Every structure is written in C-alpha cells, then in structure tokens.
Amino acid sequence: MKTLDQIAAELQGYDPQALSASAVNAFLSELVAPVTERENVSVFDALGRVLAEDIVSPISVPPHDNSAMDGYAFDGAQLRAGQPLTLRMLEGTAFAGKAWTGTVAPGACVKIMTGAIMPAGLDTVVPQELTLAADGGITVPAGALQRGDNRRLLGEDLMAGRPALRAGTRIGPAALGLIASLGLATVPVLRRVRVAYFSTGDEILSLGEAPREGAVYDSNRYTVYGLLTRLGLEVIDLGVVRDDPATLEAAFRQAARQADAIITSGGVSVGEADHTKAMMKKLGDVAFWRIAMRPGRPMAVGRIQASTGDGRFAAGPPQGESVPMGGSEPRAAGSVGALMFGLPGNPVAVMVTFLAFVRPALLKLMGVADVAAHTPPLLKARCLEPLRKKPGRTEYQRGTVSTAADGTLQVRTTGNQGSGVLSSMVEGNGLIVLHHAQGNVAVGDAVDVMVFDGVI
C-alpha cells in the first residue's frame, strides 16, 4: 500500500498549500481501495448495494419468441409491398402463459394476446386496431407493417449464459427487477461500508443542551448523517468530541476500530488553537491541504490506524469488545486502518467538500466500478446575474436552477454565499461550478451546474 508521500510524488504539480480540486480527486483515487468482503442478500435487501461478482443469466429473457401486441399472428413472408393481405382467422386464441398448439397454414392467422408464445412458423403480429374486417377473417392494409413487427425475440433482453449485470454495479430499482426476472432470490454483494463521524470543538452544542454565549448547535453532524445515509452506508455516530487530547485520541481509535472511514468536521484550519490536527498526525498518515476552492479551503485526508485497548496499534478490535454507538460490530481483523477525511467546520463548506471529494471516494470504497456514472453530471445553464470570480480556484456557488420558456436551463444564485449560510443549501437546488481557470461571469453566459436531486 502506498503512503501519502508516495501518492503525492506521483501527482504532477502537487502542492498541499494550493491544491486544485482536480488534484484532490486524483489523490483520493489512488488512496482509496474498495472493500472486498462479500455476502448474499435477498433481492428486497439489495437496493443500493454493490455487486460482488458478475450475474450470469441462467435463463433467456424472454424465454420464447412472444407477441408484443394484442392482435393477430401470421407468417410475415406473405406480405407484399404496396398490397393488402387478407387472412382467414382460425378458431381459438393464443394466451400468455400457455402455448397455442394448433397449426397455422399459409393464408391464415390466429388471434394472440400480448406476451403469448408465438405459434410455430409465425413471426409477425398485426395489432387488432390496424386490421379491417373481412369475411371470416381480417385484412392487413398495404404498408401497415413489415415482416417481424410486434414480435419479441427469445433472449432479446437477456441471453442465457451471458452476463446480465457486471461486478461493481450499484443496484437500483431497475436492476432489482432485472435480477428478479432471472428467477434469482439472492444477490452476491459487497458488505456495507462503515463510516464513523464526529464533530469537534468546545464551542459545539449537542441537541438538548442549553444555549451559551459563543456556542453553536451542531448542524454538521446531521447533514453528514443524511449524506452518508443517502449513499446506503452504515453510519456510526460518535457525537461531539471536545477539544481535549485524551478524548480526541479515544474517539479516533474507537472510530478506526469500528469503521472503514472516519469523517470529522472542524479543527483542520491553519492556526486553529485545538488538538485535532496534532492527534491526526499522531495516530496516522495524514496530509493537511489548503485547497484552491471556495467554500472549503482546509481539508485533511489520510489513514488512521486502529489500536487495541492497551494502546498498541492493531488491525482489529480486542476479542469480545462491544460497540457503544452506531449499532455496528467492529471490523474484521486484517484491516489496515480507516480512511480519514477531516472536513472544515463551516456548514456549507462541509457539504461542498463532501459532494466534491468525499462522496466519490466513498463510492469507490463501496466497490462501485463506474463512480462517474453515480456522480451528478455538470449541466449547462444560462446565468441570470453577473458573478465575480478570480481565476486560480474552483468556486461552488449555491443556485436555483429552472427551465426557461425556450426549454433551456437557467440559474441564479441564492444570494449570500457565505460558508456558514446553511439555509442557502436548502433554498437552492444545485451548485454553480466555476472552474479553476474561469473568471468573471456576465449575465447570459453559460455556466456549469450540479443539480442536487437524489444527492442531498
């Protein structure tokens, strides 16, 4: 496993005092390795989980050629360009779920329902609404259809023996249906990633505490909980940890024993008078960055080692140790410690750094093969107001994206862009992403927007 220094040495232009947003993601892609432990779960429990192996289709779907319409089945070879076709209608109907066993000779057709197996020798279905009544049969108007129309072919969705879903696929509602269509009751998935989270600082109040001068209620703990839960992760809530060396050390060690990743908020800014940074350095291999972005300039990242109750570093927890919070069992032996994400303390900066950097890293940790496919795309929108921006940093401004009369997207800011204005993340529905080299934006200019839907 590479150390942080080794990863940094491989990145061109790496500067921890002025790191670009793209360099942060490049660094994290090298730092994070997916979990490998796996389990089998029921289809109902598989939503949001990540496939541990390819699912090879045991059957073909559909298992037979079948009708895509209610209508009349016949041999399409009889169709002639520019000519109507009159067919004699046989008695009986081909229904879904039961094969029609009769024989259909040339010049004849049989009534068929959607989903019914195509009778032998027939390859075309004319919808009943397209036909004209004829004496004892039907007439197919000239040009109404071509041979093979309205027929679903055996295996056109899934073919037996071929991969239906690939390892690393994050299972969504459509994939649940696809798995069920193969008759599979259980699914091989990677285990859930466990993330421990706590807020730091003597100025942080927990809910239920009385207000006091200079203190603020902890919002970060709840927004991060929501962001992690949306990803389908197992969240271990360690509450608020005071700015005390012994307390911080105990919290970090407990988190590293229980979790695959640790997220903290606060205590990573340059010159802060607290012990969080010192404890991160003591217990792990951690880098401290000043990212060229707004909001969210300070961030820490790395690994924190687990330790036993007597202070020795170890891969797993002592035998029989209980887990006091979060409902999670300690991780299995063999772990090399937990990933560490030290986020800034301001509420908006926490959410922006999570969306920009931590979320993609956690998706990779979960084993998602195509992280980009699960990252909100950047869409173009016309800016409705001028924006001031200096080249040399990436800015994420909260905005409201809407659809203009001509069908194109347009966006305006939510107003005050301070990193402590959490209400802007509620009022807005996306981020205006102003890239590293970008300058001022004039009214009417196209900008990139990241829409929040399904993410926060």
Rounded to 5°, angle at Cα 103 from 97 and 109: 80
- Read off the tokens for 443: 């009214």
Q: 165-208, pLDDT tens digit by residue?
A: 999 999 999 999 999 999 999 999 999 999 999 998 888 888 88
Name residue 291's amino acid. Answer: I
Q: 91-107, pLDDT tens digit by residue?
A: 999 999 988 988 999 99
- Read off the tokens for 367: 């084993």
Give dist(CA 100, CA 66) in Å, integer.
11
Output the pLDDT for position 306.
74
Question: What confidence category does residue 307 fall into, taking pLDDT thresholds of 50, 70 and 90?
Answer: low
pLDDT at 314 over 50: no
Q: 107-123, pLDDT tens digit by residue?
A: 999 999 999 999 999 99
pLDDT at 371 over 70: yes
Calculate the average pLDDT of the chain: 90
pLDDT at 64 over 50: yes
pLDDT at 311 over 70: no
Whether 158 and 179 have beta carbons less than 8 Å apart is answered as no
Output the pLDDT for position 333.
38
Output the pLDDT for position 336.
59
pLDDT at 334 over 50: no
- Read off the tokens for 22: 């793209």
Output the pLDDT for position 322.
27
Question: What confidence category does residue 328 fall into, taking pLDDT thresholds of 50, 70 and 90?
Answer: very low
Q: How far is CA 388 from the centre of its chain?
A: 32
Q: Which residues, including other chains, have CB under 8 Å from residue 129's CB and lie 6 or more apart?
A: none
pLDDT at 316 over 60: no
pLDDT at 149 over 90: yes
Output the pLDDT for position 272.
53
Give dist(CA 259, CA 250) in Å, integer.
14
Which helix (H) or strand (E) element contains residue 262? Answer: strand 261-265
Output the pLDDT for position 310.
46
Give dist(CA 41, CA 395) in Å, integer.
42
Q: How far is CA 191 from the centre of its chain?
A: 16
- Lowest mean per-residue pLDDT among 76-85, 326-335, 336-345, 371-380: 326-335
pLDDT at 335 over 80: no
Question: What confidence category does residue 309 fall into, taking pLDDT thresholds of 50, 70 and 90?
Answer: very low
Stretch 414-442: mean pLDDT, rounded? 92
Output the pLDDT for position 267.
78
Domains of the chain from N-terminus onward? 4-37+191-374 (3.40.980.10), 66-152 (2.170.190.11), 378-451 (2.40.340.10)
Report cis status (omega within 30 of 0) of the bond before 127: no
- Lowest mean per-residue pLDDT among 49-58, 136-145, 418-427: 418-427
Question: What confidence category does residue 318 fall into, taking pLDDT thresholds of 50, 70 and 90?
Answer: very low
Stretch 340-350: mean pLDDT, rounded? 93
pLDDT at 406 over 70: yes
pLDDT at 4 over 90: yes
Percentage of residues in the chain with pLDDT exceeding 90? 77
Q: 237-258, pLDDT tens digit by residue?
A: 999 998 888 999 999 999 999 9
Q: How far is CA 270 from the centre of its chain?
A: 33
Give dist(CA 412, CA 399) in Å, integer.
5
pLDDT at 44 over 90: yes
User: In Å, how far are 21, 303, 313, 314, 391 from 310, measured between CA atoms?
Assistant: 40, 20, 9, 10, 51
